[in-house]
Structure 1
Amino acid sequence: MVVVVTGSPGSVVDVRRGNRAAVLRALYLQGPKSRQRLVGMTGLSVGTVSSLVTGLIGEGFVREAGVLGSDGGRPRTLVRIDPEYGYVVGAVVEETRLRVELFDAALGGVARASWPLALGVQGAEMVAARVLEGVEELLAEAGVARERVLGVGLGVPGVVEQVPEPVLHAQAYGLPRVPLGALLRAGTDLPVFLENGAKTLGQAEQWFGAGRDAEDLVVTLLGTGVGASIISHGTLYRGASSSAGEWGHTKVEPGGRMCRCGVRGCLEAYVGSGALLERYREVTGRDLSGGDEEEAVALLFADPAAAPVLDEAVRHLSVALSNLINLLNPGRVVLGGWLGQLLGRSRLTEIRTATGALTLTHPYAGTEIRVGEMGGDAVSVGAALLVVNHLIGPTTPAGAEP
């Protein structure tokens, strides 16, 4: 059940809702904590935290989770998110497949499945229908009743404009303006939330991965496509029309290779998985395409003959990273996505050195380049977080309740 409470800015309702969100966010990010520890983490008073926790236990969102002993003091009862509060679905639309994962309310994995999907070949209506069918199939397999589902989060390639029903702009797939939010909501009574896949990956890395303790960071997604999630002062930056982070279509070689978007010289045309496989074929004469793309790229990385291909990819990636750092001044850049992790783990020293040589000394000195920590389900975890963020509500500065 989703409860929406309205109130004027600065009202008792707004303050309590913001304080409630602060407590829930702390429990999601840090795990079981005592009420006393939550006071220190949130900056709220003892009375406010006690009242909020009591209310959250009454809702079923939070439950007590054992006792923490202390040296000579009174034992402290821990509280945590109650996994049995309900279920959250995180789904991901990729170029060739749909992946759906079911989580409990504490974001513990319950079940997952994937199905073939031809994005750009199947019409938007068929894609929406397949997403909803996939959700229903997974719920049936897991034995979870629909009324126990708190919402569905969906990560997709392309720009997702939130105006007010989400509209997908996926130029590279021949889907210039698709009312995907309306199509999905017309087929289900479950709450549905949409976002660009790179942005959902960024949320997952920010909450649980390599971006946990950073306030200003960029999480890059490198895979079949290339994108980025820009996080400023702990908040996702979307831009005027939600297209911030289309890093894969920034130019690294004017007049260079043709990108899927129809323009030459994009970063994605040099470091996307399809681009690497095509360049490998040109250099070695070996064609690894036609099967599973991730397996094919893994074979490429294992072949010493692919060294010139990877050297070229690192050069172009470093140009793009330098531009990001000079422009945005992030404290951290995370190399995320399955391909980003492969490049980062095998070429991190080269990437750092090449990027540093191209970047202004001052911003580069304040930027750390890390490899992402989230695995292949990062985008689906981030998609599930779209639902969790809605359930938590906006976090506002801690305040006393009038």
Structure 2
Amino acid sequence: MRQFKSFVKKEFLQIFRDRRTLLILLAMPLVLVMALGYAIKTELNNARMAVFDASKDARTLRIKEAFRASKWFTIVEEAPTMARIDELFSRGEISMALVFGPDFAATMGKPAGETAIQVIADGTDPNQAAMLTAYAQGVMATATGAGGGIGIHTRMLYNPQQKSSYNFVPGVMGLVLMLICAMMTSVAIVREKETGTMEVLLASPMKPLHIILSKMAPYFTLSVVNIVTVLLLAVFVMGVPIRGSIAWLSVASVLFIVVALALGLLISTLVDRQMSALLVSGIGLMMPTLVFSGLIFPIENMPAALRWISDIIPARWYISAVRKIMIEGTGPESFAKELCIIALMAVVLMAAAMKKFKVRLC
């Protein structure tokens, strides 16, 4: 019993000596509970939509006013043409569009195949698209009375079959790269510190930059292999298309790999133990990536404060870019913002990691 008590005491002292690990153990559960409590919202909130009204009569006006009064939708634009609707979808500025035909009043009450109203939803996230159309039908039914009197034709843009894999694959790519690159890079360098071999490396003729790059190179290669493997499985097993440019997909992936490697390197300069590196890079990166990247929960459903937090999550921008390239098949003008943000993050994180890297261990 005495030996057991001594062992327990030693474990407590070991934890208390590592203040960073202690902070993570005590603070991280609170942060995650708060984040999950506020970020996980299944209801719709302020979904951005556009309207194309070729009828412009009293009935369409009443329906549009009902959407404006609803807390679930925000009409960002009344598009003059259908081409403008397509442009807004390709830019990612809307997730749903409402289209009224020129003879809307004459077709009220007819079946959906004969109606002059159409609900178009972005089907890259099937669950979100189904929710959008369901809420839209509820708003229109309220605006036109019980039963609605409207035959609604619904079309899922980009993903008519509503396959969940279309939304799942881009998210997995971002999550895998973040975990493999950041976690493994941070642990590999900290391991050198723990075993004492970092002293030998720093005393060698190699420059610190070369040491860092030599550590990053294997994980960069493994990450590229992981991306290729995921894409092959996605295309040939899950049936997920690559509608856009493979070259742009490669550029986005390489930039994100650099971001994740730089983040892992930065973590390694801030901690001195492998366990601390695992906690920070594993729990500290995995959970924010799952919650705030749009992988599982729509970002627009979150409170404003948490949407700001999602802006600093690298995976959020990478997943958005991959969805636009793979699923929507849009050109570089639609995901240029995401690529620029990822590139800026890569430069900032690499500069910070290089500045914090210690050429001396004492």
* Both proteins in one fold, TM over 0.5: no
Question: Which structure shows the higher helix fraction?
Answer: 2
| Larger Rg, first or second structure (1 or 2) | 2
TM-score (norm 2): 0.29
Question: Which structure shows the higher strand fraction?
Answer: 1
